Amino acid sequence: MDVEQRQHPAALPGLDGPATQQHLPVRVQRLVTELRGLYNTRLEPVLGEALDALDDTLYQLAERSRGHLEQQRCFDSRAMARCHRAAFLRQVAEHLASRFARLGQVSDSADTLAPMASLSLLGRDEHELNAALEQLTSRGEAHTGPVLAELSYRMAVLVGAPPLEGEALPASPQSLSAAVRQAIPALDLPADHQVLLVQALERKLAPMLPALYEAANAHLLAGGILPHLRAFAGARPANAPPAPPSMKAPTPANEPTRPAPAASHEPIAVLENLRDLLSRQRAGEARTVAGHAASAAELEVALGALQQHLVQVTDRASRELRSAQRLREELLTHLNAGKPAGAARTGLSPEQDDTVELVARLFEQLGQQLHPGPGATALLGDLQVPILRVAMSDRDFFEQAEHPARHLLGTLAEATNDWGDGKDIDPDLATQLNRLVARAQREAPSAGLYTSLLADIRHHLAQLSRKAQVTERRQVEAMQGRERLHQARERAAEVLAARFAETTPRGLLRALLDRAWSDVLALALLRHGEDSEAFAERLRLTDQLLGRLPVDDPLRLRLAVEDHLQQIGMQAEEAEQVAQRLIGGGESPRSAEPVGTTIPAPAAADMPALAAYALAAEPPSATDLALRLKQRQRLGEQRGQETRPATPQAAEPPLGPLEARIHNRLRQLPFGSWFEFIDTHTGAVERRKLAWFSPLSGNTLFVNRRGQRVAEMNLRELASAIAGGRVREQLVPRDGLFDRAWRALTGSLQRPTARA
């Protein structure tokens, strides 16, 4: 085919971009404008699906994050992606419009040598982004090479140029990659989340690009552009998707044209591979159809009747997972319901039978991945027939990893597995999941239904996650407050011990300094710090109480002691009694009578009552006050809780070699790591999250999925429990529960064993 030399074509009117030329024929302008509209119509929904997939990925990362900061970072990225979604789509469309506007143009600097670029080191994040964009380009070109080559010839004929390549061809994989690079800054995402977006775009764009370019070729072909152009595809592997219609050899003129089938029956790679593995595992087991095989309509009616029957049945057996044999029997019963005794029986075709087998095995693997418990098994049992209806009517269930039904099944399984360990599921979550599953049982399966159900589940899970974060943050803050109080109390004890070495107090003064006044010093350290004037003032009062400094004004000293004791929670009357007993000297304004007050003489009848009042009003002795101080509740303690005395580090027994290695590793673990605590008597396993630990004291805080505190222990105790097998660290899997069940299904099919 002869190709004209490259010219400077006119630009297309109505397109955004640089200044355009006007001498292209009106017919060519119309074709290019329609082609641009076709691209926009096909690409915009796919870009939106990629943003939705990024939102799902960020949500899953937030769920599996090991710290509050990383979790909040994922939620911030989700909010930014939703806020700037329109700007991202608009910039991609503008880049596509600019490529159409410059279609076939020659740059003024095309014939000049470009200056040599200076070398510079790339950051790791930028390198990963470049690699992801290159992967997007290479995968798109690998899937669309011949179709894209055909399109490049037709587009070149429109503008009178050689075949267009790379970014010169609008909406090519390289051009789309450049558009994504240009539009990504509009989302304002971190570098690693930008890589996740490009990967989501790669998963969404790669399957649809062949159909997009095929539609563009068909549009140009209908417009009379190179009607006799033929491009032949190379050899395809057995599991590759079928070639598009334009890549198939044309029918010879002398061969009669065969009518196209009503529905496409070309094999889908994943389903056919699974069926092949299943047939090999059956080892030649003969499978015959009793009577004629059910049609798609008959099978849909029978599945709908079975689903409605299970909604009406309330027995326990109806909510359990069904084996493949039981599903076949129930399905055949509904297929042949109402037929006369001598009528021909309706059976399942080999493909339908294999689909029943695969779905039953998939649910079996999901049940094995879950923690034991009736709640998760019942929910999976309620979804088994609706998912079977989807698999029977929509083969994309096996082919597409992003299928809404697969996402719904995986999300529901992970919700019951993560939020309840299979036994203590949150009541609100259980109610919500049961309501959504009941809706899936009542209504006919469709992509819209499962997308709606998936959005509802994720919305409720996001609310639970936010509540758990708030609860966990409060527990952590309370633990950090107790840790700071403990450190301040230890420092106050060190200050008092240094003074006790020189002056040893006794009796009530020792009880006051050990129990109450140490809290006064600790509170000053917490509020003001060790170098503050407030802490120095309390140290002067301490030295005056110990007799290390002279007391110029006993009344002022007593009032100051009373005020500080009341700040740590002591009753005013008790504080006054302690200060009066220790210091004395001067009359307290709180107990003095106002000047000029006349006290009338008591009557004779009131003398017994006054005597009893006098005995009751007698101030307690120093021994009584000391006992009260030893029994009083310390600052920061709860009722019935006693602060354990600080044990010196040298007094702790040394750890063994294994415990020491575990202890060192635990000190390097990030917050948010999950552990499994095993009951040695019953064997029950409880999952707990390491929400916080102190690098100084080694105290840890464990919470459950809902952020509630469940345990507090020391890192040394945790290391000993791990070494003893009572606790084990739970490794966070990189993939979801559905993906693990899917891999287990394919692995079980690859084992050369007979079917159970």
Residue 413 is assigned to a structural domain of this protein:
yes
Name the DSSP letter for residue 670. Answer: P
CATH of the domain at 720: 2.30.30
Specify burial of residue 506 (Cβ count, 10 A radius: 0-12, 13-18, 19+).
exposed
- The percent of residues in the chain predicted with pLDDT above 90, rounded, is 0
Region 351-376: mean pLDDT is: 81
Q: Which amino acid is at 90?
A: R
For helices 296-312 and 324-335, angle between their N-to-C axes, nearest 10 degrees: 110
Per mean pLDDT, which of 95-104, 274-283, 565-574, 578-587 is the most reliable?
565-574
CA–CA dist 729, 666 (Å, integer): 10
148 and 208 together in one domain: yes
Between 696 and 290, residue with greater pLDDT: 696
Q: Over the Cα atoms of the chain, what is R_g?
A: 39
Between 605 and 88, residue with greater pLDDT: 88
The answer to whether 217 touches 147, Cβ cutoff 8 Å, is yes
Structure tokens at 136: 């997007």
| pLDDT score at 601 | 43
Mark 18-56 as b/e (b = at least 16 C-beta within 10 Å).
eebeeebeeebbebbeebbebbeebbeeebebbbbbbbb
The answer to whether 339 touches 387, Cβ cutoff 8 Å, is no
For residue 674, the cross-strand partners are 689, 730
Confidence of residue 100 (pLDDT cuts 50, 70, 90): confident
525 and 395 together in one domain: no
439 and 482 together in one domain: no
Confidence of residue 261 (pLDDT cuts 50, 70, 90): very low
pLDDT digits (tens, 9 = 90+) for 14-46: 334 333 445 556 776 777 777 777 877 888 888
223 and 296 together in one domain: no
Residue 702 is assigned to a structural domain of this protein:
yes
Q: Which amino acid is at 202?
A: E
Q: 627: closest CA among 582, 578, 573, 569?
A: 578
CA 500 to chain centre: 55
As a whole number, the mean pLDDT across the chain is 75
| pLDDT score at 489 | 87
User: Domain boundary residue among 545, 564, 588?
Assistant: 588
Region 132-148: mean pLDDT is: 75
Residue 435 is assigned to a structural domain of this protein:
yes
76 and 177 together in one domain: yes
Q: 169: closest CA among 102, 235, 231?
A: 102
Per-residue pLDDT at 338 exceeds 80: no
pLDDT digits (tens, 9 = 90+) for 398-428: 888 788 888 888 888 888 877 765 455 677 7
Name the DSSP letter for residue 228. Answer: T
| pLDDT score at 10 | 36
| pLDDT score at 411 | 87
Region 312-322: mean pLDDT is: 66
DSSP, collapsed to helix, strand or coil, labels residue 537 as helix
Q: What's this model's pTM, rounded to 2 decimal places?
A: 0.57
The answer to whether 66 touches 115, Cβ cutoff 8 Å, is no
408 and 493 together in one domain: no
Residue 361 is assigned to a structural domain of this protein:
yes
504 and 440 together in one domain: no
DSSP, collapsed to helix, strand or coil, labels residue 117 as coil
Region 102-125: mean pLDDT is: 52
| pLDDT score at 547 | 86
Per-residue pLDDT at 292 exceeds 80: no
87 and 172 together in one domain: yes
pLDDT digits (tens, 9 = 90+) for 384-398: 888 888 888 887 888
pLDDT digits (tens, 9 = 90+) for 564-601: 888 888 888 888 888 888 886 544 433 333 323 333 44
CA–CA dist 172, 147 (Å, integer): 11
Residue 240 is assigned to a structural domain of this protein:
no
Q: 525: closest CA among 509, 537, 511, 541?
A: 537
Distances (CA, A) of 578 to 269, 511, 512, 558: 87, 11, 8, 9
142 and 200 together in one domain: yes
| pLDDT score at 1 | 38
Task: Give, for 293, the enclosing helix (H) or strand (E).
Answer: strand 292-293
| pLDDT score at 15 | 37
DSSP, collapsed to helix, strand or coil, labels residue 617 as coil
pLDDT digits (tens, 9 = 90+) for 702-756: 998 888 888 888 888 899 899 888 998 887 666 778 888 888 888 888 776 544 4
95 and 178 together in one domain: yes
Residue 486 is assigned to a structural domain of this protein:
yes
Confidence of residue 502 (pLDDT cuts 50, 70, 90): confident
Per-residue pLDDT at 284 exceeds 70: no
pLDDT digits (tens, 9 = 90+) for 460-472: 888 888 888 888 8
User: Domain boundary residue among 194, 217, 232?
Assistant: 232
Per-residue pLDDT at 125 exceeds 80: no
Confidence of residue 283 (pLDDT cuts 50, 70, 90): low
Per-residue pLDDT at 529 exceeds 70: yes
Between 621 and 25, residue with greater pLDDT: 621
User: Domain boundary residue among 588, 606, 626?
Assistant: 588
Region 180-189: mean pLDDT is: 88
Residue 493 is assigned to a structural domain of this protein:
yes
Per-residue pLDDT at 131 exceeds 60: yes
407 and 479 together in one domain: no
Count of domains observed in the chain: 4
Region 667-680: mean pLDDT is: 84
Q: Which residue has the tokens 């592997």?
A: 237
| pLDDT score at 639 | 53
- The percent of residues in the chain predicted with pLDDT above 70, rounded, is 73
Confidence of residue 510 (pLDDT cuts 50, 70, 90): confident
| pLDDT score at 382 | 83
Confidence of residue 615 (pLDDT cuts 50, 70, 90): very low
Region 65-78: mean pLDDT is: 78
Residue 483 is assigned to a structural domain of this protein:
yes
**In sequence order, what DSSP letters do the residues of 258-283 get, joined into one string?**
PPPPSS--PPPHHHHHHHHHHHHHTT
Domain that holds residue 390: 292-338+346-445
Confidence of residue 230 (pLDDT cuts 50, 70, 90): low
CA–CA dist 604, 616 (Å, integer): 20
CA–CA dist 676, 730 (Å, integer): 6
pLDDT digits (tens, 9 = 90+) for 237-255: 434 444 444 444 344 344 4
568 and 713 together in one domain: no
Give φ, ψ of 687 to 5 degrees. -90, 135
218-221 contacts, C-beta under 8 A, 24 or more apart: 218/246, 219/31, 219/34, 219/35, 219/38, 220/31, 220/35, 220/151, 220/154, 220/155, 220/158, 221/154, 221/246
| pLDDT score at 730 | 80
Per-residue pLDDT at 649 exceeds 60: no
Per-residue pLDDT at 259 exceeds 60: no
The answer to whether 159 touches 25, Cβ cutoff 8 Å, is no
| pLDDT score at 609 | 45
Region 439-455: mean pLDDT is: 84
pLDDT digits (tens, 9 = 90+) for 192-224: 888 888 888 888 887 778 878 777 777 777 767
The answer to whether 709 touches 718, Cβ cutoff 8 Å, is no
Structure tokens at 383: 């979804």
Per-residue pLDDT at 334 exceeds 50: yes
